[in-house]
Structure 1
């Protein structure tokens, strides 16, 4: 997967390098749209999807075979690093994976963050410590524009998890992410339109990046 782009992102010292990137992968809409934007706008290739979790996708609670199906549909290898106990931290596992990828020439990571500065700061610190570039294709963009782009570009996704303490969100479970869904989310007071605070999580079962849709 390659595209011709120019992209001014953090860590400018990397900007003249040919980007061979991994994508931090959850199976949901934000990482999918971030990958899509990178391929449209950046000069480089995407060599791997990276997922660090237990037996299921972290917040999304997706069976890992569904992530593998996405990987196969895109023709991009998926690396899954298991955290085997609650005492093991996420960060050491992520750094270990990135260091292994660096030996293969991977020098950048793509992340689907939109506006949570604290999380971006953490990602940038981790990437700086292992000397790879952190790329945020969706960062700072208007959330309605992102949702419109996701739907209009041909992505298809369903809601697979919601925050349990937000009872009104339960009605979203199983919903298709379409324009009606976007309007309903906008009408919910205190709910982030893109679910950036974990209000809801999605599984992308069809995409302009897939060679076929995923049955699930």
Structure 2
């Protein structure tokens, strides 16, 4: 929650835990996402911060970045209960 409040723009780029399906790939981490992760923690026992390898993230923007990143092209790769958002290209943009 602190990172969301601090204006970090982060997306999930890999998942490998029960309850985290294909629909999580590319999902922005916001308050709704955090609340859903909390529900999954109760149901499946996942580590909400992803420190157990449940998911991986990419920070697209934050206060210390001079520019922000934008994903231009990506493909989902899914293998049963785990998946990766294979990022093919990104663009650096000025902050406005």
TM-score range, shorter chain: 0.5 to 0.7
| Larger fraction in helix | 1
Looking at structure 2, the residues matched to 191 and 158 of structure 1 have their Cα atoms a distance apart, in angstroms, of 18
Q: Identify the residue that residue 169 of structure 1 maps to in structure 2.
A: 20
Looking at structure 1, the residues matched to 10 and 62 of structure 2 have their Cα atoms a distance apart, in angstroms, of 9
- 1:174-198 deviation digits (Å, cap 9, x = unpaired): 1100000000000012111101101
Alignment length (residue pairs): 67
Looking at structure 2, the residues matched to 214 and 174 of structure 1 have their Cα atoms a distance apart, in angstroms, of 14
Q: Identify the residue that residue 69 of structure 2 maps to in structure 1.
A: 214
The reply on whether 1:159 has 2:28 as its aligned counterpart is: no
Alignment partner of 2:32 out of 170, 180, 191: 180
* Per-residue deviation, 1:168: 2.2
Equivalent residues in 2 for 1:32-43, closer than 5 Å: none
| Higher RCO, Cα 8 Å, sep 6+ | 2
Larger Cα-atom Rg = 1
Looking at structure 2, the residues matched to 174 and 167 of structure 1 have their Cα atoms a distance apart, in angstroms, of 17
- 1:90-141 deviation digits (Å, cap 9, x = unpaired): xxxxxxxxxxxxxxxxxxxxxxxxxxxxxxxxxxxxxxxxxxxxxxxxxxxx
**What TM-score do you get using the length of structure 2 for normalisation?**
0.65
| 3-state DSSP of counterpart to 2:59 | strand
- 1:31-58 deviation digits (Å, cap 9, x = unpaired): xxxxxxxxxxxxxxxxxxxxxxxxxxxx
Unaligned segments of structure 2, at least 5 residues? 72-96
| Coordinate RMSD, CA, aligned | 1.1
Alignment partner of 2:58 out of 203, 209, 215: 203
| Larger fraction in strand | 2
| 3-state DSSP of counterpart to 1:210 | coil
